[in-house]
Amino acid sequence: MGTNSKQTTKKKPKNSIPAVAETITKSKKRTRKVSQSKPQPACPIGDIEDFQFREDEVKEIRASLLKWYDVNRRDLPWRRINDSDDADRDRKAYAVWVSEIMLQQTRVQTVVNYFNRWMEKWPTVQHLAQASIEEVNEMWAGLGYYRRARFLLEGAKSIVEEGGQFPRSLNDLRRVRGIGEYTAGAIASIAFNEAVPVVDGNVVRVIARLRTISANPKDKETVKIIWRLAGQLVDDNRPGDFNQALMELGATLCTFLNPNCSSCPISAQCNALLESKQNPKTVVTDYPTKVAKVKQRRDFSAISVVEILECEEGRVDTKINSRDSSSKFLLVKRPEEGLLAGLWEFPSVSLKGEEADLVERREAIDEFLKNSFGLKLDIVAREEVGEYVHIFTHIRLKMYIELLVLRSQDLRTKEKADMSYKYVDMKTLGSMGLSTGVRKAYNMVQKFKQSRSSLLKTVCS
């Protein structure tokens, strides 16, 4: 995949014309039409299989990009670990792994604090392997895509079971659960100096603009070709720095909407920029091709924050909004597979993709609470708190949130084969790592209780 890999390419004439001015056409015998006055047109998928960077271009891109990166790279905690002379290779690999998993579909600014807290709690893969999924989910809460956190834990356990040493090569890294092609390339190149490419959305955008690739960037064949082009570019001596430089360029200068071409260190090799100068109808942001987003599914659910009063005998006038209240809250664990797998949430009922009125929502919740937990619905207070729309990648979930306060009752958890649940006090609930949607529901209920304190008084019996 790196520049040392064996590739069979046609020899070019000594006075070959820059690739910017070449147009590749197909026939029984491949020929090249040359035009020095026009930029190279965008390449459809059928024509870029043989489309490579020239050797002189590769050298220029490597030198310019690394020089720029050495001066402009952002100071990030995982890079500090990799720059440290006393950090062993396994510690470097672990830092790269954790940071890259966190950075997937998450902003760098958000990740920094999460990364620092994570590394403080689990500084090595051995420490992480001893954690529980509940602890990991709590540390991950707010980052989303919780499946990534689960794979980190499972991967750590598998590495420790195999002896505790991080795999040293791309192929061995790919055998670890949760480590795919991208993450394996990042660890191998950054921590172990293996000359292999890394391709994320930023790299796709940079390469698509360098070569004016108009094919669908999410198409399987296009992705394969961009990986090959990235492999041609990666620097043999500084593969980790080069891969980070390419990603850094896409994240800071060669951005999706407002590329800063005047500051780009490799603008001289950018076909998209040249084409935009020669054709007023073309702009750099035409590349890569915009792909229509998948239409979001619209889901609806009824959320019931169930609070059960726990009062000592003879105690009266308990305010359920008091921080000293001994109330218990019911939490249900989601299935181990699927959306938000293994996380704790308030009791919820799916409304089967449709809006539902208050009566229908309450009937559904009541049936769920009775059948699943054997709760007696001895209601102290029941109030509609509000609505909240939570956006997932492909789902728009509208949640109807209510507060349901029940009188004290037997809270012994009954064993159910298909469901895990527990009762927690307010202090525990406030410190738990809850998903963004559940945390929002909790905060809405707390705010509601504070505003309606005069109504939320009762006598325990």
Whether residues 307 and 344 share a domain: the answer is: yes
pTM value?
A: 0.78
Residue with tokens 């921080």: 323
Give the residue from 253, 286, 319 where a domain finishes. Answer: 286
- The predicted pLDDT at position 409 comes to 78
- The predicted pLDDT at position 41 comes to 46
Whether residues 325 and 237 share a domain: the answer is: no
Residue type, 249: L
Whether residues 121 and 250 share a domain: the answer is: yes
363 is catalytic: no
Residue 146 lies in a domain: yes
Whether residues 276 and 351 share a domain: the answer is: no
Residue 12 lies in a domain: no
Query: Total domain count for the chain?
Result: 2
Residue 82 lies in a domain: yes
Give the residue from 265, 286, 307 where a domain finishes. Answer: 286
Give the residue from 286, 321, 352 where a domain finishes. Answer: 286
**Active-site residue, from 100, 248, 275, 310:** 100
Whether residues 323 and 225 share a domain: the answer is: no
Residue type, 111: V
Confidence check: pLDDT of 384 > 50: yes
Query: Cβ contacts of residue 442 below 8 Å, gap of 6+?
Result: 305, 346, 429, 434
Residue 432 lies in a domain: yes
pLDDT tens track for 6-60? 344 444 333 332 333 332 233 333 333 333 334 444 555 545 445 689 999 999 9
DSSP class of residue 309?
-
CATH number of the domain enclosing 222: 1.10.340.30
- Residue numbers of the domain that contains 343: 297-458
Residue 453 lies in a domain: yes
DSSP conformation letters of 94-157:
HHHHHHHHHHTTS-HHHHHHHHHHHHHH--SHHHHHTS-HHHHHHHHTTS--THHHHHHHHHHH
Tokens of 276: 């935009």
Whether residues 341 and 266 share a domain: the answer is: no
Mark out the alpha helices in 236-352 (DSSP H runs).
239-252, 271-278
CATH number of the domain enclosing 352: 3.90.79.10
Q: For residues 435, 441, 445 and 448, what is the CA-based torsion angle, rounded to 10 degrees?
A: 130
Whether residues 275 and 308 share a domain: the answer is: no
pLDDT tens track for 391-420? 887 888 999 999 999 998 776 665 555 678
